[in-house]
Amino acid sequence: MSDLSGYQVRSPPGTMPLVGRSVTVAPIVDERHFADLFAAYGQPENESLYDYLPYGPFAEQAAFGEWASRVYLAGDMLFHALVPATSGRAEGVAALMRMDRPNGVIEIGHICLAPSLKRTVAATEAFFLMMGRVFDELGYRRFEWKCDDGNGPSKRAAERLGFTFEGLFRQHMIVKGRNRDTAWFAMLDSEWPALDASFRAWLAPDNFDPDGRQRRSLGELRRDLARSR
């Protein structure tokens, strides 16, 4: 058993943007991204994006802006705007939350990606940049991902990104008048170096053909790197 007697309380995430090749992850500290976010995923045709979130959809920008001011800027969670380089506009959000700083545990949640951002290199790189902040910059021991057990896309995304399924919390919450069983996923600091290597290999320009299609999947690279160690 490792000796953690010298482990110190971890710092909260800072507000410096994380800049990658295809995306910037910008902590939300004011209202500058609200109009872009509403345009990206606040419209009525995007109602299904809110199926597993405890809020929304929003009928108009004013209602979204009022809500976002209360939630995104509340201070108990640090929301981040995901800004693809191709558009220069915020097209998604993700929050670092439930920070247990003495034990080095933090969660990513409130993830909402516009259709234009889903299944893109920018989305994957955004999560990679946030993982790097959690493990490399801040030294946390555990990074959690939780979602409604009925949310198949979220569970598949967690597994693709390298989170390990740890179990189901039955009747965990009541959301929008219905039961939510919560699926728990996590990755550990001891797992991060191998995951980091697989992300870097996947994001490398030579992993994509001239049409932008991946040559090897993130899962393939993770398995191959694991076998070579």
| Cα–Cα separations (whole angstroms), residue 137 to 24, 44, 78, 97, 119 | 17, 39, 16, 16, 26
As a whole number of angstroms, the distance between CA 29 and CA 31 comes to 7
On the question of pLDDT at 44 being above 80, the answer is no
Q: What is the pLDDT, as a whole number, of residue 144?
A: 98
Q: What is the pTM of this model?
A: 0.96
Q: What is the pLDDT, as a whole number, of residue 227?
A: 85
Cis peptide before 57 (omega within 30 of 0): yes
SS3 66: helix
Phi and psi at 35, nearest 5°, equal -65, -40
Q: What is the pLDDT, as a whole number, of residue 186?
A: 98
DSSP state letter for 141: S
Q: What is the pLDDT, as a whole number, of residue 1?
A: 66
Q: For the domain bounded by 18-145, which CATH number is listed? A: 3.40.630.30
**In the structure, what pLDDT confidence band is assigned to residue 185 with cuts at 50, 70 and 90?**
very high
* Higher local confidence (pLDDT), 55 or 200: 200
As a whole number of angstroms, the distance between CA 139 and CA 23 comes to 23
As a whole number of angstroms, the distance between CA 180 and CA 203 comes to 34
* Higher local confidence (pLDDT), 85 or 225: 85
Q: Look at strands 78-84 and 23-27 and give their pairing.
A: antiparallel
CB contact set of 103 (below 8 Å; sequence gap of 6+): 141, 142
**Domain parsing of the chain, residue ranges:** 18-145
As a whole number of angstroms, the distance between CA 194 and CA 162 comes to 10
What are the beta bridge partners of residue 101?
none
DSSP state letter for 84: E
Which amino acid does the sequence have at 42?
Answer: G
